[in-house]
Amino acid sequence: MGTAGSASTNSTKPAMRDSLIAAAFQLFLERGYEQTTVDDIVTLAGVGRRSFFRYFPSKEDVVFPDHEQCLADMTRFLAASADSDDPMVRVCGAARLVMRMYAENPTFSVQRYRLTREVTGLRTYELSVVWRYEKTLGDYLRTRWADRRDGTLRANVAAAAVVAAHNHALRHWLRSGGEGDPLAEVDGALEFVRATWGGGQAAEAPAEEAEDVVVVITKRSTPMWRVVREVESSLGEG
C-alpha cells in the first residue's frame, strides 16, 4: 500500500518515488534526520527538487509515504459496509488494514519507528496521522449509531479504543525489531476490544422505554412513612 517495498516496478513514477524514499532513509540513518536536507535526498536519488515535491509536500512526508493510501483504503472499506455488518467488527477490520500496511515491509517499518522515537517533530507528525485514522473510524461509527442517544459518545470512545489496541500491538511488534506475526498480535488486541464492547450491541434503553425518575421534595422533619406514601402516590402505586 505505498511502502518503499510495495510499489510496482513497471511504472517509472512509483520507481522514482521509491528511489526518493530509499535515498532519504539511507541518509537519515547515516547522518541523522535533522542533518539531512531535501537537496541531499534528491542528489543521492539522482533527481531534481521538483520531482521530490511532486510526491512529498515536505521532508516529514517522505517518512510516512504510505499513510495517505492506507487512509483511502480504510475509508473505502468502511463505506462498503452493509447495514447488517456489526459496526465494531467493521472498524476492527479497518484497523487491521493499517497493520497489514506496516507488515508489508517490516524493515522499513522498524527503521521508521526508531527514527520517529528520536525526532520530536516526527512524533508530532505521527500523532496527526493517528488522529486522522481515529476520526475516520469515529465518523463511521457515529453514522451507524446515529439513532442512539449515546451514539456520539459511544462512537468516540470505541474509535479511540480500537486505535489504542492497534497501536499497542504495533508498538510491541516494532520494539521486537519486526519479529513474529504482527497480524496475529493485532487480531488478539482487537478481539479484546470487540469482547469488551460486545460487538457494539450493549443495549441502551430507548427513549420511550427509559425508566421514570421521581423527585420528592419534602421537609427534613417529615416522617418516613409519609415520604414513602408520597413516592407510591407519584408512581401510581398508592
Burial (0-12, 13-18, 19+ Cβ within 10 Å), 162: buried
Domain annotation for the chain: domains and CATH numbers: 12-58 (1.10.10.60), 67-200 (1.10.357.10), 210-238 (no CATH)
Q: What local confidence, expressed as pLDDT, does residue 23 receive?
A: 95
Identify the pLDDT of residue 5: 36
CB atoms within 10 A of CB 48: 11
Global confidence as pTM: 0.75
DSSP 216: -
Per-residue model confidence (pLDDT) at position 196: 84
> What number of residues does the chain have?
238
What is the mean pLDDT for each group of 10 consecutive residues in the chain (238 residues)? 36 75 94 95 93 92 92 96 94 96 94 93 93 97 95 95 97 95 95 76 42 56 57 54
Orientation angle between helical segments 87-103 and 67-79, nearest 10 degrees:
150
- The predicted pLDDT at position 50 comes to 92
